[in-house]
Structure 1
Amino acid sequence: MQVRLLGPVELRDGERGAVPVGPRARAVLAALALEAGRPVSVARLVCAVWPGDPPATSTTQIHGCVSALRRALGPDRGLLVTRPPGYLLRLDAEAVDALGFGARVREARAADRAGDAERAARLLTEALGGWSGPALAGVPGLHAEAALLEEQRLLALEERIRVDLARGAAADLVPELTGLCAGHPLRERFHAQLMVALARSGRRPEALEVYGKARRVLVAELGLEPGPELRRTHLNVLTGPPSAETTLPHDPADFTGRETELARVLTALGGPGARAALPIVAVSGRPGAGATALAVRAAYRMRARFPDGRLYVDLHFTADPAEVLGRLLRMLGVDSPPAGLAERAELYRARTHGRRLLIVLNDAGGEGQVLPLLPGGEGPAVLVAGRARLSALPGAVHVELAPLPVADALLLLARIAGTERVAAEPGAAARIVDLCDRLPLAVRAAAARLAGKPHWRLADLVRRLSDEDGRLAELAHGDLDVRPGLAATHAGLSAPARRAFARLGDGSFDRESPGNRDGRDHRDSRENKDALEELVDARLLEAVPGPSGHVGFRPPGLVRCFARGLTLRPEVGNATEEWG
C-alpha cells in the first residue's frame, strides 16, 4: 500500500491502483500517514477532519472513518491498529511519499557534504519529482502540516539549484529561477540564485536589475532592506566575476585507494565535522606518496561545496608570497594587483571574504609559505599538499599519507598494466609493488612501463628493479618519476642532515641505527641527533622503535637507492668524508 500526501491525498494499492476513500476518511488517513509508525490521538484526528468546531458525534465518526480505512487497507493486513490514545498506521517511510521525500533530501545532503554533487543532484531531483501538487490538497484541517511540507519543498528546491549552479548549469536554470522569483517574490535566495545564474551566463546587467526589483518589493511589502546573502551576491556581481576560475590540474582516472584519507579531508573542509571558521587541511607524505593527487581529487569532489571557485597554485615554482598573491588575485578577477606584499594581502583577504572558495596550495615547503596566503573571513577554505609536515600551521587538520596497502597497490598496478597480466603472475606483482615501496607514483610508473612493454613478463621488471643502482631509472616513465621529489627534499636539508643522508648510500649507515666506519658512535652528539630528526621529518628516514626504549632509524628502499646514486657525485662524496 502507498499513501500519497504530496498533492491530493490518495491511497493506492499496487495491484488495484487508487482505492476510493471518502473525504473525512482521507483526512484521517493523511494525519495517520504523516506519523506512520507512531500513534495519533483521536483528538488530533478530530482536528484534522474538522478544523473548526467539531460536531458532538465527532469521536463516533472518527471510529467510523477508521473502520472504513481498515476495509480500504485490507482487513487482513493489520495495517491500522488501535494504540492509546488513538490509532497507529503500520507503514514504512517509503510507503508514504512525504516521509520518503524527507529521507531522500537527508540522503542528498549527506552526499553533498561528502562532495558527491552528482548524487546529491540526482537524489534531490528524485525527491522533488514525487510532488504532484500542493501538499495535503483537500484536507484543510492539516493546513499547518501542509505549510511545513511546502517549506521543506522550497528548501530542497533551493539546494538542488545550488548544486546545479555548482555543476555549471547556470544558463539552463535562468527560466526556472525567473518563474520561481515571480511566484515567491519575498524569497531572497531565489533572487540571489537568479542573479548568479544570469551573471555566469554573461548577463550581468540583468542580474543587477533582479537585485533592484527584489529590493523594491522587500521595502514595499515588508519595509526591510535585503538580507546579507542577497546583498553579498549583489556586491559580487557588481564588483567582480561571480565565480573565480577553476585552475585545478587533471584528476587522474586511475586514482586508487585512500578512501579513509579522502573522507577525512572532505569532512574537515566542509562536512559536519568541520571545526573552524577557516578550515585548513594539510596533506603530507613521502615523495611519491600522492599528496598532490589526493588534494586534487578532494578539490574536484568539493565542487558543490565551493561554487565560487577552486584555485590551485604550485608553490614549488613560486616561493615569493607577493608573486603568489598576485597570481591568486588575477584568478579572482583583479587585472592589476597592487605592488606591495601588504597591499596584495589586504586586497586578497577582502576579495575572498565570505566567498565559498577553495584555495589549493601544492608543494608547500613550510608554514612561512602558507601563512601569507590564508584568505579572510568565513566562507573559503585552504587545502595544502606537500612533503613537509606543517605542524605549526594554526588550526590545521593534518592528514598523513602512508604507503598504500598491498591490495590497493596491486589494484593500481592492474588498472594500468592490465588485470590479466597481474593475475597471471601474482608473486611478481606483489614483488613489484614492494620494490616500489607501495608509493602511488612509483607503482604508476612501473605499471606504465609494463603497459608500454606488452612483451615483458612481470618477472622481467622484477629483475630490473632488484638492482638498487638502477631501480629509480627503471621507475621513470615520461613525467612519472620519483627522483625529482627526492631531489627537492634533499636540496632542502641542512648541511649536517645532508652529510648524514650521504652515509645512507655509501654503506656506512646501519639500517637500524647509525653506526660509523671507524668504530666511533656519533649517535649521541647533538648535531647528529638533530640531523637524524631532520631526516625523519623530511621522511627520508623511518624511526623504528627497538628494545629497551631505543629508537633506531632506517631508510625506505627508494630513498636508499637515491642515496646510493648521490654517492657517485663528488660533492656528496666530500660531504661523506667530512661526516666520517
Structure 2
Amino acid sequence: MKLVANRDGHRDIGTLIRGARARTGVSQRVVAERSGISLRTLREIEQGRVRSPRASSLQRLAEVLSEPELFTYLPGTSPQGEAGYTDDDPLVLRVLGRLAVSRGPVELTAGTPKQQSLLGLLALRVHQVVDRDEIIDVLWGDDIPDSFGQLIHTYVYRIRQLLEMHAGPDGAQPLLVRRATGYELQMPDDDRLDLLRFRRLVRETGRARAAHDPEAEVRLLDTALSLWWGPVLEGMGESLRGHPVAVESAQQRVASALRLADLVLPRGQYESVIDHLGPIARSHPLHEGVHARLGTALAGSGQRAAALEMFAAIDRRLRHVSGIGAGEELRTAQLAILRTDEERVPVRAVFRAPAGEPVRPFQLPSGIRDYVDRPEQQRILHHLTGRGPQVSFGAAPIAALYGPAGVGKSILTARVATASRPAFRDGILHGELRTGSPDEVRALLGRFLRALGVPAESVPDGLPGRSALYRGLLAKRQVLVVIDDAADEQAVRPLVPGGVTSALLLNSRVPLSGLEGARHFRVSPFGDDQALTLLAHLAGQARVRGERDAAARIVRLCGGLPLAVRVAGMRLAARPHWTLSRLADRLEDEVHRLDELAMGDLDVRDRLGRGRPVLEPVVREALRRLADAAGAFTIASAAEVLGRPAREAEDVLEALVDQQLLEGPARSGGEYAFLPLTRIHAREPV
C-alpha cells in the first residue's frame, strides 16, 4: 500500500495532530516534551498558523504520536503527492559515510545531533551492550550536563519510537533493548545495517580467497566497497569517528581496497581501482600503499601527469610530517611510470630499505576473534593518539593498564594496539618484561633497535647507550611501543619514547604509579552483560538464550573474571552434550570450583598463582585470615579479624588493593571486597 498525502489545506496537519493526541490521551505539554519542540510551536501547528512546519518537527511528532499519516507531509514525496516509500520497504541504517536512516528512496529524519550521535554509537556497537559511561563519554566528553540522565532517556525514547514506527513488512524491526548497564541495538538481519552487510561480505571474500576463486573474490570486494560513501559517521564528532569500531572498519575498507587493486590491476581494470582508492587516498593522505596503487591505476588509465603529481604531493607531505620522504613501494611505482608509459606498472615491490631509510616494523601482539568491547578502550585510544583530555604537553603519551590476574589486560592491550595502527605510520614494537631485570631490558632494546633498521654491529653494548639511540630514533618517528606484563617502573623507563610523536602502551598487574607522565587505566572484571556476551560467543548464542538463568549463574560464579568465563565457555563448547545447568551446578562447589576452570593450557588457578605477588609475611598471613573470614570488610571489621588497630588494618587492606588482591571501596568508609575466585585461591594452602 502506498501512503498518499492529503494536501488540501494546512489545517489538515493540525487536525491530524489533535486527533492523534485525543486517541493516545496525551496533553500538548507531554507531546512537546517528548518531541523536543516548544509548547508554543506545537500550539501554532495545531491551529494551522505555521504554513510550513519543519520536517524534523513533523518527523518527531509522527514518532511520538504513532501517526504514520504525518510522514506523508515530509520531503521526499513524488510530484503526484505519493510518499516515496511503501509498506514493503524496510528501515535501513547506514554508518559507512554520513549517518542515514531511510526507507526506500526516502531518507528519514534521525533527530537532533545528540540523538543522531547516540544512534550512530549504538549502530557501531550493534548486538552489543553500550554502557551508560560510554554513552556519556561519546555525547558530552568532559562537559557533562546535570540533566544527562534525563537527556539519555529522551534520546533513547525517540530512537525507539523511530524504530517501532518503521517496522518491516513482516513485522521485523530493529530493536533498542534496555540492559542492566546500558542499551543494545538489535538488527533483524545484516541487510538492515550497512556495517553488518560489509562485515558479512568481507567474511565471504575470505572464503573465496581460501577457495582460490579470484572472480568471486573480485565481485564480493567490489560489492563490499560500494557500500562506503565516505568515512565512518562522516561529519560527526571525533569521539565517534575515532571509535575503535570505526577505526577497525576503516582498516578493513583499506585492506579490501588494496586486495581488490592487487587482483584487478594486472587485468588493466584501472577505473575500478580509481573509484575505490580515490576517496580512501583523500582520507588517508600518508598511506603509501594506497597511493602507490592509485598512481599505478591513474597512469594505466592515461593520467600519467596526475599520477606523477600525486607522487610528488605525498612525498612533500611525508617530508613535512616526519622529515622522511616516500618509501620503497612509492618510489618503485613512480620510477616505473617515469621509464615508459607503455610498461605495466608494478603494484607491489618487496620492501628492502636502503641505508638511512626507516624500517617500519608492525609487531602487533596477538589478539582474539571473540573480543568483547570495553568502554575504557576508547579512552585509552584517545589518550595514545593525542585526542584525550589528559595528554601531557611536550612528552610522549603513556597509557598504563593494570588490574587483577585473568581480567584481560593483554587482550585489551592487543585490541588497542590494533586500533591505534593508523595513527602510528612508522610501526608498532611489541615485547614482554616478565622479570624486568637490566639484562632483559637491554636485550629487548637490542631487538627493538634491530627491528627499527639499526645494523647489529651498530647496536651499543650497554643499556644506557641502547636507550639513548632508541629514544632518538623514536623522537623522529610515529611508533607505538607495546609492553606486556611490565614488572616495575625501573624496567619501563628506558623504553619510554623520546619526543612527542611516538607513544607507549603497557600493562601490568599493579599500577606503576611512579612512572612519570603515565595515565593509568584500571581493567575491571566484566559486568553481567559483557560476561554473558563472551559466554555466548564461545558456547553458542542458542545455548545461552535457552538457559539464560544458568548462564547468569555461570558468570556470577566466575566472578565476571574474563579468563574464567572464557574457560567455562570453552568447556561447554567442547562438551555439546552438557547443559549449562550442569556446569553451573559443578561450579557451585567452592572446594572444586578452580578445578572446573581449567581447559588445555588455560588454567585459572595457575594464572592466579602466577599473578600473586611475593608478599611480606605479615600481609600474606592477613590475606589468608581475611579470606577465611568473609568476602568483604570495612576497616573496623578487618581490624577485628586481624586483631590490629584500625590504622594498621587499613594499611594491610590498602597493601592488598595495591597488589590487586582486594577491590577498593567505592566511597570513603565503604567495604573492601575480594573477587570471588581470588578469595577461593587465597584460602587454598600454598
TM-score, normalised via structure 2 length: 0.53
Q: Given the superposition, is the C-alpha separation of residues 177 and 494 from structure 1 closer, same or farther in structure 2, using an over 3 Å criterion?
A: farther
In 2: Cα distance, 1:307 partner to 1:442 partner: 36
Aligned twin of 2:660 = 539
Counterpart mapping for 1:139-288 below 5 A = 157-163=281-287, 165=288, 172-173=293-294, 175=296, 179=304, 180=306, 182-183=308-309, 187=313, 189=315, 192=318, 199-201=327-329, 238-244=355-361, 246-258=362-374, 260-270=375-385, 272-273=387-388, 275-276=391-392, 277-288=395-406
Aligned twin of 1:554 = 673
Counterpart mapping for 1:443-462 below 5 A = 443-462=565-584
**Is 1:356 the counterpart of 2:484 in the alignment?**
no
Deviations 1:119-161 (A, max 9, x none): 4479999xxxxxxxxxxxxxxxxxxxxxxxxxxx999845435
Kept after mapping to 1: 8 A contact 2:429/2:448:
yes
Counterpart mapping for 1:64-83 below 5 A = none
Kept after mapping to 2: 8 A contact 1:112/1:120:
no
In 1: Cα distance, 2:251 partner to 2:529 partner: 33
Counterpart mapping for 1:120-519 below 5 A = 120=250, 157-163=281-287, 165=288, 172-173=293-294, 175=296, 179=304, 180=306, 182-183=308-309, 187=313, 189=315, 192=318, 199-201=327-329, 238-244=355-361, 246-258=362-374, 260-270=375-385, 272-273=387-388, 275-276=391-392, 277-316=395-434, 319-320=437-438, 321-336=441-456, 337-505=459-627, 507-508=628-629, 511-513=632-634
Kept after mapping to 1: 8 A contact 2:364/2:428:
yes
Kept after mapping to 2: 8 A contact 1:409/1:438:
yes
Kept after mapping to 1: 8 A contact 2:402/2:507:
yes
Q: Given the superposition, is the C-alpha separation of residues 188 and 426 from structure 1 closer, same or farther in structure 2, using an over 3 Å criterion?
A: closer
SS in 2 for 1:443: helix
In 2: Cα distance, 1:118 partner to 1:124 partner: 10
Q: Offset at 1:378? A: 2.2
SS in 2 for 1:346: helix
Q: Offset at 1:503? A: 2.1
In 1: Cα distance, 2:587 partner to 2:645 partner: 32
2:293 partner letter:
D
Over the aligned positions, Cα root-mean-square deviation in angstroms equals: 4.4
Q: Given the superposition, is the C-alpha separation of residues 327 and 111 from structure 1 closer, same or farther in structure 2, using an over 3 Å criterion?
A: farther
Q: Offset at 1:175? A: 2.3
In 2: Cα distance, 1:119 partner to 1:333 partner: 31
Q: Structure 2 regions of 5+ residues with no counterpart?
A: 1-53, 55-78, 82-106, 110-228, 256-276, 337-352
Q: Given the superposition, is the C-alpha separation of residues 404 and 102 from structure 1 closer, same or farther in structure 2, using an over 3 Å criterion?
A: closer
Q: Offset at 1:393? A: 2.4
1:270 partner letter:
T
Kept after mapping to 2: 8 A contact 1:410/1:433:
yes
2:576 partner letter:
P
2:449 partner letter:
L
Deviations 1:370-413 (A, max 9, x none): 22110111221111112211233222222222221211111110
In 2: Cα distance, 1:249 partner to 1:551 partner: 38
Aligned twin of 2:99 = none
Q: Given the superposition, is the C-alpha separation of residues 200 and 496 from structure 1 closer, same or farther in structure 2, using an over 3 Å criterion?
A: farther
Q: Given the superposition, is the C-alpha separation of residues 188 and 460 from structure 1 closer, same or farther in structure 2, using an over 3 Å criterion?
A: closer
Q: Given the superposition, is the C-alpha separation of residues 191 and 355 from structure 1 closer, same or farther in structure 2, using an over 3 Å criterion?
A: closer
Kept after mapping to 2: 8 A contact 1:306/1:358:
yes
Kept after mapping to 1: 8 A contact 2:625/2:641:
no
In 2: Cα distance, 1:493 partner to 1:177 partner: 66
In 2: Cα distance, 1:486 partner to 1:161 partner: 46
In 2: Cα distance, 1:111 partner to 1:197 partner: 32
SS in 2 for 1:286: coil
SS in 2 for 1:540: coil
In 1: Cα distance, 2:488 partner to 2:500 partner: 24
Q: Given the superposition, is the C-alpha separation of residues 483 and 327 from structure 1 closer, same or farther in structure 2, using an over 3 Å criterion?
A: farther
How much identity, in percent, do the aligned residues show? 34
SS in 1 for 2:430: strand
In 2: Cα distance, 1:264 partner to 1:103 partner: 19
Q: Given the superposition, is the C-alpha separation of residues 523 and 181 from structure 1 closer, same or farther in structure 2, using an over 3 Å criterion?
A: farther
Q: Given the superposition, is the C-alpha separation of residues 433 and 207 from structure 1 closer, same or farther in structure 2, using an over 3 Å criterion?
A: same
Q: Offset at 1:432? A: 0.5
Kept after mapping to 2: 8 A contact 1:199/1:207:
no
Q: Given the superposition, is the C-alpha separation of residues 465 and 376 from structure 1 closer, same or farther in structure 2, using an over 3 Å criterion?
A: same
Q: Given the superposition, is the C-alpha separation of residues 110 and 364 from structure 1 closer, same or farther in structure 2, using an over 3 Å criterion?
A: same
Q: Structure 1 regions of 5+ residues with no counterpart?
A: 1-36, 38-73, 77-91, 95-99, 126-152, 211-235, 570-580
Q: Given the superposition, is the C-alpha separation of residues 434 and 200 from structure 1 closer, same or farther in structure 2, using an over 3 Å criterion?
A: farther
Q: Offset at 1:518? A: 10
Aligned twin of 2:196 = none
Kept after mapping to 2: 8 A contact 1:109/1:120:
no
In 2: Cα distance, 1:562 partner to 1:198 partner: 55
SS in 1 for 2:656: helix
Q: Given the superposition, is the C-alpha separation of residues 177 and 273 from structure 1 closer, same or farther in structure 2, using an over 3 Å criterion?
A: farther
Aligned twin of 1:53 = none
Aligned twin of 1:564 = 683
Kept after mapping to 2: 8 A contact 1:158/1:190:
no
TM-score, normalised via structure 1 length: 0.62
In 2: Cα distance, 1:112 partner to 1:102 partner: 8
In 2: Cα distance, 1:402 partner to 1:176 partner: 49
1:254 partner letter:
D
SS in 2 for 1:378: coil
SS in 2 for 1:292: helix
SS in 2 for 1:562: helix
Kept after mapping to 2: 8 A contact 1:111/1:117:
no
Kept after mapping to 1: 8 A contact 2:426/2:479:
yes
In 1: Cα distance, 2:241 partner to 2:354 partner: 25
Q: Offset at 1:419? A: 1.4
Kept after mapping to 2: 8 A contact 1:318/1:324:
no
Q: Offset at 1:272? A: 3.1
1:346 partner letter:
A
Kept after mapping to 2: 8 A contact 1:171/1:197:
no
Q: Offset at 1:524? A: 3.1
Counterpart mapping for 1:87-106 below 5 A = 106=235
Deviations 1:528-578 (A, max 9, x none): 5433211111121123479xx64543322101111122x2x3xxxxxxxxx
Task: Determine which structure has greater relative contact order: mean sequence separation of CA pairs < 8 Å that are 6+ residues apart, divided by chain length.
Answer: 1
In 1: Cα distance, 2:365 partner to 2:279 partner: 34
In 2: Cα distance, 1:330 partner to 1:516 partner: 53
